[in-house]
Structure 1
Amino acid sequence: MFFAMKYRELKDLIEEGENIQCEFKLKFSTPEKIAREMIAFANTKGGYIIFGVDDDKNVVGVESEKEVAELVKETAEKYCEPPIEYSIEFIEYNAKELVIVAIPESHIKPHRLQDYLDDIDLNKAVVTIRVNDKSVQASKEMIRLLRAQNGKKALVKYTIGQNEKLVFEFLKHNERISVKELSKLVNISERRASRTLVKMVRANLLMIHTKDNGEEYFTAAV
């Protein structure tokens, strides 16, 4: 999907700065922190982690490519559930050694920080996604949608009930709606409101959006 990267491609990535598909790391910090980044890319559209570049796009290089590679391997295999697929490449850039880790978008979402549980606990699981230039915790709604993506099927048969009609009516006068707003609007639990909105997204009736702080809101799909 990504490799082998050419010098010009790497130069363009660095000049563009961090974004939804690119993260700079001056050095390998901790497996937990790097796992969150790898998980976010796998759960979203894929992307690159470039070791040896700081947040201001200054190319510093890494001390040991081998050490970074070993730590990345351990992180992908032992700190991510399911384990993350990735490719790794070493490139000399302006006389500095950089390590580029490419993570493709996963087909077995959602990935989470290893918790040694048999299944995802929606209240506790660390499931990250990429939003702009940040990796943020996914909401329960997003986790449910990531799960549904594994089947790669929209809800083609979906009955529009009173709650759904009220959502459409609300969106005629407002640009967006949240789980809390729907819960208050129709006097149902937030859990039920969440499931309703998620199903409407799966039926291609709504679109889900994530803010930089991880909060979600929904808009009409058309």
Structure 2
Amino acid sequence: MYSENRSTASLSEMDYLDVKNLAQTGEGTYLEFKRTIPSAYKIAREIAAFANTQGGTLLIGVDDDKSLVGVLGYQEQEYLLKKATEELCRPKVDIVIEIVHFGDRDLLVIKVPEADNKPVFVHDEDEETVFMREKDQNKVASEELVKIIEKRNSDEGVTFEYGPKEQKLFRYLNEYGEITVEKFAQLVDVSRARASGTLVDLVTADILSLFRKDNVDYFTYS
């Protein structure tokens, strides 16, 4: 059960008009709003996506049409937020919860910082998933992107060979501009896992970059 004396929420310096003006800017890379929190797992996905990207703000008590409807008491919402950040997000995400009162209702302004220790995984039973923020949506990160994030946030350096396989890769990129893991594996006749590892190392070393198109990862020159 939620215990009110465990609350970490504080009154916001924002007022009703501030929240209304913010909501009018619309959802995007740094802003998401919801009428209410549907479940701890669903809000954990939002929080993790912001934390894995560049941070952002969640507004609770704002409808899809940007109108401010508020919630009757913020305690249940805060309980779900704490469950999401402390139990479902790993590592834990330290959010700031601010309350804006209007009438008998409350608006919640949740500030999500960019994580220092990426990636943040969302755990659901036996599964763990990494979400990223892309415009106004949360996207599941690919296996390659997760590895790139992990390598960039580790203290280990990146080394790679420049051999015949890499030469074939660069010749292909010079001609076609982009390549997938599967195409690279086929091109140099190696397993998908080995092709993935090579491309991940080249992205981590800032030689290549990764972009997503039609839910497929492509690699190209940085």
Equivalent residue, structure 2, for 1:169: 171
Distance 2:167 2:105 in 1: 59
Q: Once the 2 structures are TM-superposed, how far is the Cα of residue 28 of structure 1 from its aligned partner? A: 0.8
Matching residue of 1:66: 75
**Residues of 2 paired with 1:163 and 1:25: CA distance?**
49
* 1:27–1:62 contact (8 Å) kept in structure 2: yes
Going from structure 1 to structure 2, the CA distance change for 1:171 and 1:58 (only over 3 Å counts) comes to: farther
Q: 1:196 to 1:55 in 2, by over 3 A?
A: farther
Deviation at residue 4 of structure 1 after TM alignment: 6.2
| Correspondence for 1:219 | 220
* CA deviations over 1:48-107 (Å, ceiling 9, x no partner): 111112333232222222221122112111111111111111124799632111111111
Checking the alignment, whether the CA contact within 8 Å between 2:58 and 2:111 is kept in structure 1 is yes
Counterparts of 1:6-155 in structure 2, within 5 Å, are 6-7=14-15, 10-92=19-101, 97-114=106-123, 124-151=127-154, 155=158
Note if contact 1:111-1:127 (Cα within 8 Å) is conserved in structure 2.
yes
Q: By percentage of residues, which structure has more strand? A: 2
Judged with a 3 Å threshold, the aligned counterparts in structure 2 of structure 1 residues 58 and 181 are, in CA distance, closer, same or farther, namely: farther
- Measure the CA separation in 2 of the matches of 1:205 and 1:54: 44
RMSD: 2.7
Shift of the 100–184 alpha-carbon distance from structure 1 to 2, 3 Å rule, reads same
SS of 2:59's equivalent in the other structure is: strand
TM-score (normalised: structure 1): 0.83
Q: Distance in 2 between matches of 1:216 and 1:104?
A: 26
- Which residue of structure 2 lines up, in the alignment, with residue 195 of structure 1? 197
Per the TM alignment, residue 21 of structure 1 is displaced from its structure 2 partner at its CA by 1.6
Task: Say if 1:96 and 1:165 are closer, same or farther in 2 by CA, change over 3 A.
Answer: farther
Between the aligned partners of 1:219 and 1:43, the Cα distance in structure 2 is: 22
Contact (CA 8 Å) 2:203, 2:210: kept in 1 or not?
yes
Between stretches 128-137 and 169-178, larger displacement belongs to 169-178
Percent identity over paired residues: 35
1:151-189: CA deviations, max 9, x gaps? Answer: 26763x543222222222222222322111211222211
Larger radius of gyration: 2
Q: Relative to structure 2, which stretch is displaced further, 27-36 or 58-67?
A: 58-67
Q: CA deviation at 1:137?
A: 1.3
Q: Equivalent residue for 2:207?
A: 205
Q: Could you tell me whether the CA contact under 8 Å between 1:52 and 1:98 is conserved in 2?
A: yes
Amino acid at match of 2:29: I
| Distance change in 2, residues 1:76/1:161 (3 Å) | same
Segments of structure 2 that go 5 or more residues without pairing to the other structure are 1-10
1:159 pairs, out of 144, 158, 161, with 161
